[in-house]
Chains A and B, each alone.
Chain A
Amino acid sequence: MRFQQQTFASAALLALAVASGLASAAASSWGFDDASLSIAARKGSEGIKEKLNQKTPLAMPVALGSADSLKVALTAKDNGKGKRPHQAFVVLRDQDSGLEAPFPLTVKENGKAVVQISQKDLPAQLLLAEKPLKASVVIASFGSATGLNTPAFEVEIRPDPATPLPNYEKPLRYGKRPEIHHIFRSDPRSPPKVISLFFTLAVAATVPALFIGWALLGANLNHLTKALGAAPLSHASFFGSIVAMEFVFFMYYTSWNLFQTLPVAAVVGVVAALSGTKALGEVQSRRLAGER
């Protein structure tokens, strides 16, 4: 059948060439025929043998195991005649990265070509490919014949589960690097304000409780007028300096530093000491008079 088709095709071409009056060999092109793809497993029984077609690639990808070797055999033909092309490659391409590895076919004078590919012939980048590798056949040579570059089949790499995969590190390339944002330590946190407010109120409530307790025990300021009458300046200064000392503590808490606080505290202390002797002397006199 094919033979009949070929004679028809070449007869038609000849007729065309004669009809157009061209003497040149006209559009000759490379092609291949009798192509087969076989996978020979070195251990085990499975071997796959498929026929390759120049016009349509194989529908399903073939699997290549770690001990298998893939053999492609074809006959290169220039215009239907078996001839040896200069370039006869099976090119395997990684679909994701676009990297290609050519495998030259060993071609005899009559155009019969064969090549064997096993996993150890593949570069590491193709071995680690996730998707099946697309294989195309490139047949071309010098002269005016147009070359052939068609996809032929797909091959899926099945790595050996026992052996570790080759360690392929992507080489350093200058370019933008990933952004880094420093993750800050979290700020110190306080408990919920409700709890703080509750205890604040609890503490603040002790003050009136204390005052009420004192009042129930008979607290009074009855000798205030008598004391101030007896030693007004001393008592005013003494109590004033006690209050002033608390004020100094308050200022130190809010805004002053130690160098501002200490002189003021010293002055207030001296005032307290000097006025205190007089004031407490007056208290002593009231005690000795039996009024305390």
Chain B
Amino acid sequence: MRSLLSFFALVWAVAVSAISTTGDRLLVVLDDVADQSSYSKFLGDLTSSSPCPLSVLRYWPYRGFKLSFETPKSESLSLFHLGERAYDHVILFPSKSKGLGPNLTANLLLQFINANGNILLTLSSGSSTPSSIVSLLAELDIQLPADRTGLVVDHFNYDAASAADQHDVLLLPAPHSIRPDIKDFFGAGAGSDEVLVFPRGVGATLGSGELLMPIVRAPRTAYSYNPKEQGEVVDDLFAAGEQLALAAAFQARNSARFALVGSAELLEDAWFDAEVKTTSGQAAKTFNREFAKRLSGWAFQEIGVLRVNWIEHHLNEVGASNESNPGIYRIKNDVTYTISLSEWSWSSWSTFKVPANDGLQLEFSMLSPFHRLDLALDPSHSTAEAAAYTASFKLPDQHGIFNFKINYKRPFFTNVEEKNTVSVRHMAHDEWPRSYVISGAWPWITGIGATVAAWLAFCALWIYSAPVDQKKKGAKKL
């Protein structure tokens, strides 16, 4: 077990060279390559080449992406090269053209996701979404307003400084996790006076699939309308309130990530350190820079990445040999299973703490689970970089081929699926309890003993006895 752990560490140290776990080649697709100056802080954070502690609370990590800038219709743009991905991540900024060109069709973007590439897509209410993007979002079960353009407004939560009349710059609280069992990746540590600014963005509605998760939901009084046609009255409402997702996440089954941000403007330099005013007149600072870092960090596999280091199961009975991961057990054996998990957070592996209210579960199953047990943290096998989780249980009294299954799929974490197959044999003929411990058998055993004793006595009597004295008997009779 120890040697296995060090072997894995060696292999991993050799293999990793980028800070994102899946690579550092980042493609940025813009209509006009000169536009990148308005996103200079966001892109600069992505390429940051040295650690820079700007504040005690936020430590800008070494992210070290290598950016390439292309326009959508450029001929040299190709997501694949000789069958392999040419880039590891793609950022798509809003484009005014109707289609994104032959190199970025919805099909190619989906192939990119299937090849473990990550995509960060930004939309804007100012330009209508290209048809290939709409097809891609439809494939992922994300719906955009009709006419592919919409504007999210909120007459109750807007920035009084810049959008006092139009109400199209939304002020949102820092996004905390929607469910209590999900780790708060995006809003943890935000100050109470910090707001997320969502200027002139598009809201989307998400399908009900399990791969989709909203990151930022619109406030309850917000709604989406088409500024060109619905300027006076909203006759056909697309969606309103918390059904509108302003930022959403999609994680494919191969753990490739797709993040959708409804407003590309929230990534602009102007909003990163802006001062905004709430409707009640309070000044607030924007949370956009930190949010952009965390959102891109999630999308590009810098946070929320899990790794299984080793799995070990063994027989946990008195007198059992010390063998790890045997291939065969017996029914009703006591078995202990341990799995070691690490979580990648920005630049290093650390112990993976299962979020509160959530549980890492082990399934012991043949065709369906016979046991589904919560694994508990095992400090004796945990290190500073890996946490071990263990469970001890009794194998079912059904023989067959069973699997130790770990199926840990959670929103925002990479999928962990591990399967170890073992045989479970039935009791051997000499493993049953002996008859002398079965109280119901005592009369029978006593019977055998009685028979043996009577037999031996009979033999002795028959060989060594003398007949009874006839004379005496005879005399009596007479």
| A binding-site residues for B, Cβ under 8 Å | 84, 86-87, 89, 91, 98, 100, 102, 104, 106-107, 138, 140-144, 146-147, 149, 171-182, 184-185, 190-191, 193, 196-197, 199-200, 202-204, 206-207, 210-211, 214, 217-224, 227, 235, 238-239, 242-243, 246, 249, 279, 283, 291-292
Contact = CB atoms under 8 A, between A and B. Distances in A.
B279 interface: yes
B312 interface: no
B148 interface: no
Contact of A196 (B181, B443, B461): B443
22 contacts: A84-B233, A98-B242, A100-B220, A100-B241, A100-B243, A102-B223, A102-B241, A140-B221, A144-B164, A147-B155, A172-B210, A174-B210, A176-B358, A176-B361, A182-B371, A184-B396, A184-B397, A191-B439, A199-B442, A210-B454, A220-B466, A235-B463
A223 B363 CA distance: 75
A214 B462 CA distance: 11
A211 B465 contact: no
Interface in B431-478: 438-443, 446-447, 449-450, 452-457, 459-461, 463-468
Contacts of A140: 155-156, 221
A201 to B, nearest CB: 8
Interface in B226-248: 232-235, 237, 240-243
A218 B468 contact: yes
A219 B461 contact: yes
A283 B373 CA distance: 74
A177 B179 CA distance: 15
A259 to B, nearest CB: 13
B389 to A, nearest CB: 14
Contact of A239 (B166, B179, B396, B459): B459
B452 A221 contact: no
B72 to A, nearest CB: 34
A175 B235 contact: no
Given A200-B446, A219-B461, A179 B240 contact: no
Interface string B206-218: 0011100000000
B410 interface: yes
Interface centre among A84, A87, A140, A243 (most CB of B within 10 A): A87
Contact of B464 (A172, A190, A211, A221): A221
A142 B166 contact: yes
A221 B456 CA distance: 13
B452 A246 contact: yes
Given A176-B361, A182-B371, A200 B459 contact: no
Contacts of B446: 200, 203-204
Contacts of A214: 457, 461
A86 B234 contact: yes
Contacts, number: 165
B372 interface: yes
Contacts of B63: none
B464 A176 contact: no
Interface residues of B, number: 69
B234 A104 contact: yes
Nearest to A176: B359
B464 A224 contact: yes
A158 B240 CA distance: 26
Contact of A243 (B153, B164, B279, B456): B456
A174 B409 contact: yes
Given A184-B397, A221-B464, A87 B179 contact: no
Given A89-B240, A102-B240, A211-B457, 7 more contacts: A107-B233, A140-B156, A174-B411, A185-B397, A190-B440, A196-B439, A242-B459
A292 B467 contact: yes
Interface in B175-192: 179, 181
B314 interface: no
Contacts of A210: 454, 457
B25 interface: no
Nearest to B231: A86
B439 A193 contact: yes
Nearest to A180: B372
A168 B374 CA distance: 30
Nearest to A246: B452
B155 A206 contact: no
A236 to B, nearest CB: 12
B460 A239 contact: yes
Given A144-B165, A180-B371, A203-B450, A138 B465 contact: no
Given A171-B208, A182-B396, A147 B181 contact: no
Contacts of A104: 234-235, 237
A203 B179 CA distance: 70
Contacts of A143: 165
B233 A207 contact: no
B232 to A, nearest CB: 7
B465 A219 contact: yes
A217 B453 CA distance: 19
A179 B439 contact: no
Given A176-B358, A180-B372, A210-B454, A227 B461 contact: no
B456 to A, nearest CB: 6
Contact of A180 (B208, B370, B442): B370
List 5 tightest A-B contacts by C-beta distance, closest first. A140-B155, A190-B440, A222-B466, A218-B468, A171-B208
B447 A203 contact: yes
B289 interface: no
B369 interface: yes
